[in-house]
Structure 1
Amino acid sequence: MKKIKPLIVLATLLIALTLVVPAVLVLPFSDEHKASGKLGEDLKKTSAENAKAASPSADAAVEVAVFRSAKSKIETVNLENYLVGVVAAEMPADFKEEALKAQALTARTYIVKRLVSKDTLGAPKGAQVTDTQIHQVYKSDDELRRAWGADYAWKMKKIVEAVRSTAGQILTYKGEAIQATFFSTSNGYTENSEDYWPGNIPYLRSVSSPWDKSSPKFNSQKVMTVKAFEAKLGVKVGTGSQVGKIVERTTGKRVAKVDFNGKLLSGKEIREKLDLRSSDFAWERKGTNIVITTKGFGHGVGMSQYGANGMAEEGKNYKDIVKHYYQGVEITSAESLMATITAQK
């Protein structure tokens, strides 16, 4: 009997340990969950994100017929995929999220306005838009996979989130979708619409854009022979050091007019004929060459992409960004317009 007691004690201890150890293993985690709720919140957040990703966005019902210029064929894609392809092609994926959202909003506004008005100008028959700068640059998922390589996953996730977070939204002025023009880099200011294109558009006003000075595209230089310069512009500059005289500037500090011995050319004409990055230019004659320096990159009207990213870096959100570059606009739901587009099919 005395020998049996230790066995009974040992058996009792083993049974007790069997009951206690699982409780010891679980309690610290249970207490942590009750104290912080972090894991539960994370799981709920993940579930919500997955549900959002799985559910169709407000853009999914609309289709866009895109002329793929490299293949000379028309591809039909839903609006969300089109916008992802446009934002990815038009703005670097490593830009701040709020800048990407602003780009998504401008891209959606542009295409919705075009689809509602049935504007197919510049697109081949059967297409609504091309994949080039004539309209908006667009790249397919396969093209982005090849271009981004190992960075595809994080870049695509970031672009999709920017598009989805603005789903169904467009920019309007007095109830109408705006001409949501954009460009790469300003010279420190944007342009009034009439200083580059015909027509005074009230929301496309010149505003300051100091963030662009940090853009790698802010300064550029081009060298050409005097002979080529004269041929491209149809002018004679003579043998003196002066190469034309700037007689007028725009509100956005770009060149408006240059006088070449009585022949006046606009800054836009000169920019396009000489293929300059900007119409904010200056030049200097050096021997038989003319050295041209420019500030900014693009036409300068509407939203500056590098300016948008600079604003985002300072903590501004996409609503702040678009309302700075497009004066007096509102961000509104495009649900009724999208329903009209769908009904037209």
Structure 2
Amino acid sequence: MQKGLLIGLLGLLLIILLIPAFLVACDSDKRPEASAQVKEKYEKSALTIRVYLSDEKKIIELPLEKYIYGVVAAEMPADFHKEALKAQALAARTYIIDRLLRKDFTDLAQWGNVAKEAHVTDTMRHQVYKTDEALQREWGSRYQANHKKIEQAVAETAGQIITYEGEPIYAAFFSTSNGYTENSEDYFKRKYPYLRSVSSSWDRLSPKYLHEQTLSLHQFISRLEKETGQSISLPASAGGEPVQVTQRTEGKRVAKVKIGDRIFSGRKVREALQLASSDFEVEVQGGQVKITSFGYGHGVGMSQWGANLMAKEGKSAKEIIRHYYQGVDIVKTREDQVK
């Protein structure tokens, strides 16, 4: 009798202990750690990515999720919040899946004959990627902690991509906004319905939000002429304003600016002078030009610092993605369809 009662009490205790664990395991949005099964599945994935390493001038081939790990580690600081890292993993995976589905790798030719057999390079032309060996050198004593954190972020989004009306999106991202993101057509040529200007006020806390540089007026004009191929005549009268912003975009960046007798796009000036962003102010005094720019990057899509600061406020990766990419879905992709 006592033995039966003891067994019964032990069974009840076991059930009490297992119920919370079962509930946590069933809540996919609150998994504390990456599933070992998920990790193993994608390490042994049949879908492999061929990456051309531009410095070594060779191709390496690795499973999809290991490639995503190397991209996230290269593109976003490891000390960012894990939900931001998960959002970066979703963007990175969407990019490569879309590239594989389109099967257009002609842009690899500029890296030579060896690169033609790859899917992507490890450069900014596609997505920056770093090998595990490079990350070990870069992170040093922080390697184990950083590796585990990013590996979890990748595994917890394994196989998921961002789609719009059933198709993978162009998952553009950049470092820091000026407080708003940019409509795609205001910086790039193409209009994407999901790449709309949205508020990103968190970015003002980014260390990359504000940039200043000073050039002589001669340097300012010479660089513009060299990079644009256009000669610029300044106003003859001392009272004339040599630089005037005449139009701004919905994202508050410079759309058009008049410099001397020429009109340039904000993007053209940004690229010619290597400014941090196309939201800038120019002040000319006594032969000196002071340029103040706000944000860092092209401004289209997901702000990485915005994502990190949103995550710190309690936003999930899904909420971050749906804020920066309007009207999208996050879906599980099938490897057999991609192959």
Q: TM-score range by the shorter chain?
A: 0.7 to 0.9
Distance 1:136 1:223, change over 3 A: same
1:245 match = 244
SS at match of 2:185: helix
**Aligned ranges for residues 38-53 of structure 1 at < 5 Å?**
51-52=36-37
SS at match of 1:163: helix
**How many angstroms does 1:224 deviate by?**
1.8
- Of 63, 84, 91, 1:78 maps to 63
Q: Which moves more between the two structures, 144-153 or 119-128?
A: 119-128
Where in structure 1 are there 5+ consecutive unaligned residues? 1-29
2:111 aligns to what? none
Which AA in structure 2 matches 1:236?
A: S
Task: Specify the alignment match of 2:93 in structure 1.
Answer: 108
TM-score by length of 1: 0.83
Task: Please list, as runs of the form range in 1=range in 2, the aligned pairs for 1:182-197 lying within 5 A after superposition.
Answer: 182-197=173-188
Q: What TM-score do the two structures reach when normalised by structure 2?
A: 0.84
Please tell me the residue identity of whatever aligns with 2:174: F
Separation in structure 1 between the aligned mates of residue 43 and residue 166 of structure 2, nearest angstrom:
19
Partner Cα separation in structure 2 for residue 103 and residue 315 of structure 1 = 16
1:236 aligns with 2:221: no
Q: How many percent identity over aligned positions?
A: 49
User: Is 1:83–1:104's contact at 8 Å kept on the other side of the alignment?
Assistant: yes
Of stretches 58-67 and 193-202 in structure 1, the one that deviates more from structure 2 is 58-67
Shift of 1:323: 0.3
Kept after mapping to 1: 8 A contact 2:35/2:155:
no
- Structure 2, unaligned stretches of length 5 or more? 1-9, 26-32, 109-114, 226-231
Query: Aligned residue for 1:143?
Result: 134
Alpha-carbon deviations, 1:156-215, whole Å to 9, x = none? Answer: 001011111001110000000000000000000000001001121100000000010000
User: Aligned partners of 1:331, 1:51: CA distance in 2, in Å?
Assistant: 22
SS in 2 for 1:122: helix
Instruction: Report if aligned partners of 1:241, 1:285 keep a CA contact under 8 Å in 2.
Output: no
User: Secondary structure, in 3 states, of the residue corresponding to 1:56?
Assistant: helix
**Alpha-carbon shift at residue 116 of structure 1 (Å):** 0.9
- In structure 2, the residue matched to 1:68 is 53
Q: Is the 8 A contact 1:183 1:298 kept in 2?
A: yes
CA contact (8 A) 1:89 1:137 kept: yes
Q: Which residue of 1 aligns with 2:316?
A: 317
- CA–CA distance in 2 between the matches of 1:179 and 1:85? 20
Distance 1:74 1:317 in 2: 35
Question: 1:250-307: CA deviations, max 9, x gaps?
Answer: 0000000011244210000000010001000011124333111100000000000000
Residue in structure 2 matched with residue 170 of structure 1 by the alignment: 161
Given that 2:243 and 2:282 are in contact with CA atoms closer than 8 Å, whether structure 1 keeps it comes out as: no
Q: Distance in 2 between matches of 1:67 and 1:241?
A: 52
The CA distance in 1 between the partners of 2:234 and 2:56, in whole Å, is: 44
Shift of residue 34, structure 1, vs aligned partner: 6.8
Q: Taking structure 1 as reference, are residues 41 and 100 closer, same or farther at Cα in structure 2, changes over 3 Å only?
A: same
Q: Distance in 2 between matches of 1:59 and 1:310?
A: 34
The 1:240–1:230 alpha-carbon spacing in structure 2 relative to 1, beyond 3 Å, is farther
* Equivalent position amino acid for 1:317 in 2: S
> How far apart in 1 are the matches of 2:44 and 2:287?
56
The superposition leaves residues 208-247 of structure 1 with CA deviations (integer Å, 9 ceiling, x where unpaired) of 0001000000001122222221122122335657332111
Q: How many residues align?
A: 307
Q: Give the one of 88, 91, 98 matched to 2:76.
A: 91
